[in-house]
Amino acid sequence: MKIGSNQGAMQYTSNQTLSEILGNKAPHQGVAKSADDTLSKKLANDIFTPSSTDFSEYEKVNYTPDGRLNLPPDFESHRGVIEAIFTSMDKLYSDAPKAAQRMFQAFSGLEDKILRGSPELSHKDWGFSVNEQGVLVATGQLSKAQRDVIETHLNSNNSLVKAAQDFKAHFIEGLEMQRGDSGKSQYWGRYDVNNENFADIIDFKSMMNQIANANESKTGGFEWRSKSQYAWEQGMVAQLQAKAVSKFSA
């Protein structure tokens, strides 16, 4: 997992104070900010491998040979809190975008197929998402016939359906874990996205367009690298800000 200095995941480390990282459970509540920042940087440097690219400060999370998160001794007593943070990071910034990549690959060519059969849809602003039952649903100002055409094509693609379901599961779980015991978050977790309202907030077609615009391939294929990840995150932020309620703000 690659972590950028301006991405949500890194906001848990070098961009926050120690007390915030540990959910206000810092060992010395009166610690000076300079010392706090030093410990935060130490946490980041121990947990992450520094990046060799220009795109981010850190490359990947470091684990010990027995598969445990590599924590400096100062933070060992807070392992449970920190591991929960990193599990949330994996869900939101690794598992969810991997599912988005699978969706992009499964959706490739499908829109053209839909438009060939229903050319009037090329003038419609439509999208799609996944409902409470895990079924792909068309969104936008559509007639029942148009909606049926789109949904039939979408749900006949098993790879697309499974990737969409996985994305939703990872995303919602990541938001819930990010809130932690306090039920509050300064980041994506502050938005109320759940099984019932997901389809009203997250538009997968918009997400597909975001990914396509960020494609970094020089060969005409598809590649997902740092700029693609950043563009995907910005697109998700835009959707959350536009359509989700900031219900769990810290």
Distance separating the N- and C-terminal Cα atoms of the chain: 26
Residue 216 belongs to some domain of the structure: yes
Dihedral sign, Cα of residue 94, residue 97, residue 102, residue 105: negative
Residues of the chain above pLDDT 90, percent: 46
**What CA–CA distance (Å, rounded) separates 80 from 169?**
22
Residue length of the chain: 250
pLDDT in tens, 106-163: 998 899 999 999 999 999 999 999 999 999 999 999 999 999 999 999 999 999 999 9
Cα separation, 207 vs 171, in Å, equals 14
Domain that holds residue 97: 8-243
Classify residue 1: in a domain, yes or no.
no
Instruction: Quick: pLDDT tens for 28-85.
Output: 444 445 555 665 566 666 666 666 654 455 556 677 788 787 787 877 887 877 777 7
**For position 34, what pLDDT does the model report?**
58
Element (H, E) at 75: none
Q: Is residue 2 part of a domain?
A: no
Taking CB atoms within 8 Å and a gap of at least 24, the contacts of 189-193 are: 189/88, 189/248, 190/246, 190/247, 190/248, 190/249, 190/250, 191/240, 191/244, 191/245, 191/246, 191/247, 191/248, 192/244, 192/245, 192/246, 192/247, 192/248, 193/240, 193/244
pTM as predicted: 0.76
Residue at token pair 């848990």: 12
Residue 126 lies in a domain: yes
Residue 250 lies in a domain: no
Query: Contact at 8 Å (CB) between 63 and 90?
Result: no
The count of domains in the chain is 1
Asked whether residue 51 is assigned to any structural domain, the reply reads yes
Closest C-alpha among 189, 155, 190, 197 to residue 171: 189
Going by the DSSP 8-state scheme, the letter that residue 63 receives in this structure is B
Residue with tokens 């020089």: 218
- Look at residue 238 and tell me if it is in a domain: yes
